Structure 1
Amino acid sequence: MSLEQYLPALLFILIGVAMGVLPQLIGYILGPNKPDAAKNSPYECGFEAFEDARMKFDVRYYLVAILFILFDLETAFLFPWAVTLKELGMWGFLVGVEFVVVLTIGFVYMWKKGALDWE
């Protein structure tokens, strides 16, 4: 095998690296560099840190995060289902509808339980 066969892959890699590095380099060279106390302070959630970093969080924070991940992953299954819907036929459609119904029932249950309420 000659090296000419690898030229398109090498060009692809070089262009990809350039697209990632050049904007950062241009921003570093041309961007303003005026640090002040606000820019150099640690940032978390838009307000100043007022307690120990090992403070306890409310369990609702974790519950909302877990529910978000759960529903996000479940809806990610809808994309391949929608793409292959013609090949799946009526049976695949009904299985997908069942999945969406179970997902909706779970969402309504969590909503009624107050898991999505934030005070």
Structure 2
Amino acid sequence: MLSDYATIGIFLMLTVAFPVAALVLAWLVRPKPKTQPGDEKLVPYECGVDTIGRTWVRFKVNYFLFALIFLAFDVETIFLFPWAVKFNSLGLFAFVEMVIFIGILVVGLWYAWKEGALEWH
């Protein structure tokens, strides 16, 4: 029993040690600036063109909601493909589970549609 906890502890220490070691190593071998950066170095860089006017512009949240909904349904399609490939060998239980899964997706799509998350204007 104690060896199981020791294994988990070792993995936990390694997951903390590797990123910390990488950051420390990168900090040690990075080129160190000889002087402080000047005014030109501190100017915001936008594809080689100096910004004109306000640089902070508000975007509508609907664009992000539309993208998140697309991503969610796109990922769910990944779960449908293996089920469709093995449909004949899975049996009735897998069919019922997938009907429930698709039902949840349809309810989610209906809710997003009802809330106007799919409107593009």
TM bucket by the smaller chain? 0.5 to 0.7
What are the ranges of 5 or more consecutive residues in structure 2 without an aligned counterpart?
Answer: none
Please state whether the residue corresponding to 1:32 is helix, strand or coil: coil
Alignment of 1:59-70 (within 5 A): 59=60, 62-70=61-69
Q: Does 1:10 align with 2:6?
A: no
**C-alpha spacing 1:13/1:30, structure 2 compared with 1 (3 Å):** same
Which letter does structure 2 place at the counterpart of 1:7?
A
1:74 corresponds in structure 2 to 73
For residues 43-102 of structure 1, the C-alpha deviation after alignment (integer angstroms, 9 at most, x for no partner) is: 7x656473274x5x354xx4432221110111121222234443345xx59x96xx8xxx
Give how far 1:11 is off.
1.2
Alignment of 1:1-119 (within 5 A): 1=1, 3-34=2-33, 36-37=37-38, 40=42, 48=51, 50-51=53-54, 53=56, 55=57, 57=58, 59=60, 62-85=61-84, 86=86, 87=90, 88-89=94-95, 92=98, 115=120
Going by fraction, where is helix more abundant, 1 or 2?
A: 1
TM-score normalized by structure 2? 0.51
Identify which of structures 1 and 2 has the higher relative contact order when contacts are C-alpha pairs closer than 8 Å and 6+ apart. 2
TM-score normalized by structure 1? 0.52
Aligned Cα root-mean-square deviation (Å): 4.0
Please state whether the residue corresponding to 1:36 is helix, strand or coil: coil
**C-alpha spacing 1:18/1:40, structure 2 compared with 1 (3 Å):** farther
Distance in 2 of aligned mates of 1:13 and 1:82: 35
What are the ranges of 5 or more consecutive residues in structure 1 without an aligned counterpart?
Answer: none
Question: What stretches of structure 1 move > 6 A for 4+ residues in a row?
Answer: none
Distance in 1 of aligned mates of 2:41 and 2:9: 39
